[in-house]
Structure formats: structure tokens, C-alpha cells
Chains A and B, each alone.
Chain A
Amino acid sequence: MSHLMKETTMKPLGDSALIVQLGEGICPAIHARINYLSMLLDEHPFDGFIEAVPAYDNLTIYYNPYSVYLSQTNRTLTPYQQVCVYIEKLSKQISEKQGSEKRVVELPVVYGGEFGPDLAYVAEYNGLSIEEVIQIHTENEYLVYMIGFAPGFPFLGGMDERISTPRKETPRLAIPPGSVGIAGKQTGVYPLETPGGWQIIGRTPLDLFLPDMSPPTLLQSGDKIRFVPISSDKELKL
């Protein structure tokens, strides 16, 4: 399903960002390379570099084209080309070395009912019982590939494909904080009330966004997590 690419490929995301592709698909080895490149950029930023956002198999790099232009000695290159040349060079330093020991975070979840309005649909779509969906969702350990979409929202790898379900056709306008969802082969948790198109199967009482802390999120890229079913909605304190 996934493969590493030794070549880095780049494509523009508008005139002030670009996406560096380091492989294709969901795979811990690709993920490790992306985090490595992100770290290299933090250590060796180019003039005009704003920030980088890791995803499953690529890294989005945000830059200011004017600052890049001003830093150029050779003005035959466009700012985009200039950044590509820099990233090409930097990505040669990516090493295959594995990162440090992963911590495991447990997330308690109330499945179904008013907290998981799409649980029955996920079961029906996959020809499973509701209990089977819960069992499959809680038995795996998940790797946090990226945080995105909302502050502290973890995108997790390792979900069993037996419960994968497409996104809703039209996104909901408001999903309550703590909601646990499935979108395609991905699962995740909503830290804040936001619109979104994921199938909602349950809810956790934990806060994922901690704006006064540094880093400001309960989970970070590289963590492992496990969902633990809880039955009482009293535990949710809702």
C-alpha cells in the first residue's frame, strides 16, 4: 500500500507554500523521514521560511516569497524554484535513524448513543455489529502521524480497515469537542467544536488542546495512543 521514495518531489501549494513528498501512503518509515526533514528545517531555516507542517507522507513548507527574493544572489530563479533547490539539498541529509522511545497515551471513550451518532452507520457500512466496531477500534495501538485540522487533533495510523468508512457527503457544521471519528482509513479525535466531515463514533472527556502549555497539545507527532472504552456517561461530566 505504501512505498518510500528515495527522490523527493515537490509541488507548489499556491505562491507561498509547497508540498515535499517523501513517499506515498501511511507507513512509519515515511513518517520518520518527514519528521527528520521538519527537524532539519527548524535547525537550518532558509531566509523567508515561516513554518512546516508534517502530514502522513509529505511536509508542507510555508514561506514568504518576498523574503526569499530578497535573499537571492542569483535572481534568475523564481522564489519557488529557489526554495526547491534548498529543500532538495537539505533532504539529502535525511538519515534513516529511528527516533527515541514512543510514549503510550490512553484515551477513555464512550462509544455510540448521543456521543457517537454515526457508530451504527459505520457498523452497517462494514457489515459488522456495533460491539465488533468498538472491539476493533480499541484493540490496536495507534501512531500519531500528525496534528492538524484543529489544535491537538491527532491523525492516527494503525486503524483496522474492517471499520474504514468514507467521510460524510456534506460536512457537519458543528461537532462537539472530544468526539472520536472515522474518515476513510483514518481515525481521530476532535479537540474543539468545529465543522467536519468525519463519521462520529464516540466521545472522550480528556482535553486535547492545552493553550497555556508548551507544546500546546496533549498529543504530539510520534506518540502512540490506545482507546479505552468506558460505559458511564457520568465519566464525561457533560
Chain B
Amino acid sequence: MTVTVLHQGLLTTIQDLGRYGAQKYGVIVSGAMDSYSLRIANLLVGNEESEGALEVTLFGTSLQFENDQLIAITGGDLAASLDGEKAPMWRPVLVRKGSILTFKSGTKGARAYIAFAGGISIPQAMGSKSTYLRAGIGGFQGRALQKGDTFDCGEMNALGLSFFHQLKARDEHFTWSVNYKPLLNLQQPQTIRVLEGTEFNRFDEQSQQLLFTEPYTLTTQADRMGYRLEGTTQLTLIEEFELLSEGVTYGTIQVPSNGQPIILMVDRQTTGGYPKIGQIISADLPSMAQLQPTATIQFQKVSLEEAQTEFLKNEWLIEDIKRGIQLKGQRCLTKN
């Protein structure tokens, strides 16, 4: 169950749902930028949804499989090909011994996830397999994958085995796939829903309106730590004030004194001292994570009640997807 990295591409790291419990020591959460896609990739191969998987950024990554292996590819469409043919996404896929999986370019979205049945066999660091690049801990030796790296996969569970044997017997890919569209928007430009931030009222009236009317451009300074945005007008405070540093979270929109917003992403610092004008709702963070630099973003104001309702709705959708996948697995079992 060994996988070899032929080309590392732009940035490929091992991520799970993040490292929690040590933010009070300043240890960042990390984890998958698009957590919905990571969870579904794991569910499709029978793993726990929190298992570690590969996060592939935009293009250039290429892997070779030393054994027959069940995998699932989800997230952005990065023109994945399997031995030269289009690799199916959002379903369990059997990869044959010696096969090569390549991600050519970001067709739609920015990040793809590859889950391996049985998970990736690496030790956890501080309770998580996520790679924390700046501190050099977690993931594959605390760093991004490089050409020549190899890693092993664990033992498949019953659901993984059922897909594995069914695919071996039929000798072609499954025709069914998970409908991700209610959970994830891969279109550009995109409308992103936002709550008023904790310092929203410290900004002048014009800035409060601009946030929700002006289109913003995602600059090339956009990585796992944060997205720097650019608008035509600066966001300004009613009066300057020095904010004490305090907790921030994924999707916090902070405004440094140059007046251009920064969105905090998964590798964000645990605390921040810039005024927070807004907060992206959790349900839209995976779609946000899939934007490519130069994309246009339009913010739309919603209430906390709506945001939490959307959060719950998406959890129910994932529950439904999980049940659906289990049923497919049971059908395979009965056919065998």
C-alpha cells in the first residue's frame, strides 16, 4: 500500500480536520482549507471523515501507486488524469498497481483532496496529522511533499473493501458520484455570505456599505494563512484606535491600516490585533477556499441565525451523503 510522489507540484500537504486544543499556546489549527471535500473524500473510501488526506494546490502534482489502491478525489477540478485518462471525481476509484495520477491545472477551484482507503500511515503530532508548515510539525515530516517521498496507507475497513472488490470485479469506474453542488460552489465570480465583525461599528458608514456593495479581487497574496483582497476604496475607521490582541477564527475579515481587507484562513494566527469588519459564515468557507487568485468576490450580509441554520443544513446534507455511500457499499456486498 505504498504511494510515491513523482512531482510535488505547487503545494501538496497532508491535512485532516485540524489540530484543536492548543490554540491557547498559540498553536494554529491548520487542516483542510475545504473541509467538506476532505470529509466526503474520506467517507467515499470508508475512512473516518476526520482522517488525513492529501491537499493538492492548483497543479503539477503527480503520484504513482505501488499496489492496487482504493482512493477518492474531491474538491476543485484540477484536471486529474489517471494513466492519461480523465480521473473520475467524487466517487470511490480503484487505482491499479503502477498507475500514475496527475493534476494538470486548476480548471475549476484551487484545491483537490485525495483520500486513501485505510488512511495515510503517519504519526499524529499534537493530536493531528495536519501539516503545520511554519512550525515544521505534523504531516509528512512537518513539510510539503517532495519528489521521491513515499508513504504507506493503512488497512481498509469493510466499506472500503466492498468498494475495492466490486471495482476489481467490474473492471470499470462507478457511474454514480456524490452531488457536491449544494455544499460547494466552484464558480467564479462568487457571492460569499458574511456576518458583521466585532468591530463593524467602528468603521465609518461608507465603509460599512462598501463591504457589501463593492466587488473585491483576490490578490496573488493568497495562501493557507490568509487571503489579501483588493477593493477600489479603502475601508476606514471612524477614528483610529489600538485594539488589544484577541482570539480570531477561520474566515475573520480584518482590516490593517492600509484599508484593504485580509481574510484569515486555516493556517491563520490564533489571535489578532487588527479591527474585524466581518466574518465569513462557516458554510461558505469551503467555497472561499476554492477561489483562485484574481477571482472576484461579492460579500452579502446575513444574520447569525441564518449562518447557524446554513451550518446545520450542511451537516444534515453530509449525513445524507454518508448514508448514501454506506447504502452503495451494502449493495456491493450483497452483489458479491
Contacts and interface: CB of A to CB of B under 8 A. Distances in A.
Contacts of B279: 12-15
A126 B280 CA distance: 39
Instruction: Give the interface residue-count category, chain A.
Output: 35 or more
Contacts of A167: 257, 273
Interface stretch (A59-67, A100-108, A112-120, A131-139): A59-67
B312 A53 contact: no
Nearest to A21: B246
Contacts of B258: 169-170
Given A15-B195, A53-B247, A171-B256, A151 B24 contact: no
A99 to B, nearest CB: 16
Contacts of A17: 247, 249
Nearest to A171: B256
Contacts of A62: 20, 23, 247, 249
Nearest to A12: B304
B157 interface: no
A211 B195 contact: no
B244 A151 contact: no
A51 interface: yes
Nearest to B280: A14
B23 A14 contact: no
A53 B125 contact: no
Interface stretch (B71-79, B210-218, B264-272, B325-333): B264-272
A152 B135 CA distance: 11
Given A19-B246, A38-B24, A216-B25, A13 B198 contact: yes
Nearest to B268: A149
Interface in B222-274: 225, 242, 244-249, 251-252, 256-258, 269-274
Contacts of A16: 249, 282, 311
Given A65-B311, A146-B245, A55 B271 contact: yes
Contacts of B158: none
Contact of B312 (A14, A26, A66, A150): A66
A15 B247 contact: no
A12 B273 CA distance: 17
A106 to B, nearest CB: 21
Given A146-B271, A215-B25, A55 B245 contact: yes
Contacts of B272: 149
A124 interface: no
Interface stretch (A85-93, A190-198, A224-232): A190-198
A69 B312 contact: yes
Interface string A49-85: 0111111111110100110010000000011100000
Interface in A178-192: 183-186, 191-192
B308 A149 contact: no
A14 B26 CA distance: 20
B312 to A, nearest CB: 6
A148 interface: yes
A66 B198 CA distance: 23
A15 B20 contact: no
Given A149-B271, A151-B28, A167-B273, A211 B126 contact: yes
Given A150-B269, A183-B273, A215-B25, A15 B246 contact: no
A151 B273 contact: no
A66 B315 contact: yes
Contact of A56 (B195, B245, B274, B305): B245
Interface of B: 20-28, 125-126, 134-135, 137, 195, 198, 225, 242, 244-249, 251-252, 256-258, 269-274, 276, 279-282, 304-305, 307-308, 311-312, 315
17 contacts: A12-B279, A13-B249, A13-B276, A14-B282, A15-B311, A57-B244, A69-B312, A147-B24, A149-B269, A166-B242, A169-B256, A170-B258, A183-B273, A184-B273, A192-B135, A193-B134, A211-B125
Given A148-B23, A155-B271, 18 more contacts: A12-B279, A13-B249, A13-B279, A14-B279, A15-B279, A16-B282, A54-B24, A56-B246, A58-B247, A65-B311, A69-B312, A146-B245, A148-B24, A148-B26, A148-B270, A166-B242, A167-B257, A217-B26
